Structure 1
């Protein structure tokens, strides 16, 4: 009885996880959402700590936008949708 030699396959884990291209989740300023609403949304959707969410919200207010999270498109897409569902403008760049 003959056995085939074992073949080892190398897999690029980074590509396999869809994390090869790191993106930013950007939240944009507007004139109708309150600070509390944006802070609570960042805590709920992005799992920010209170202090982090507050800092991002002030940056959004004074600079017009803020990168609130980094990750792969696949990781950021549900967060972007959650932020948009809360009535806040967000993009992945």
Structure 2
């Protein structure tokens, strides 16, 4: 956020005082702010997407573990042990 403010102040300082230059400056400031907010939005949403993927992945592991237990391929002790390991991940 400090870099955005410094960039905008620099643009204001070097802008001529003609009407066309001021209009260009205003449009530039708006587009820079939109770009900055878009980048922040993407970064924040990326973290949320990663968290959701991890939850889905661990949930699918738990379902697979339950299926193994229901089919009788693992004992109850193994099921409980693996379930605890999944819970700690």
- TM-score tier, shorter chain, comes to 0.3 to 0.5
Structure with the bigger RCO (C-alpha within 8 Å, sep 6+) is 1
Per the normalisation by structure 2, the TM-score is 0.34
Point out the structure with the larger helix share. 2
Larger radius of gyration: 2
Point out the structure with the larger strand share. 1
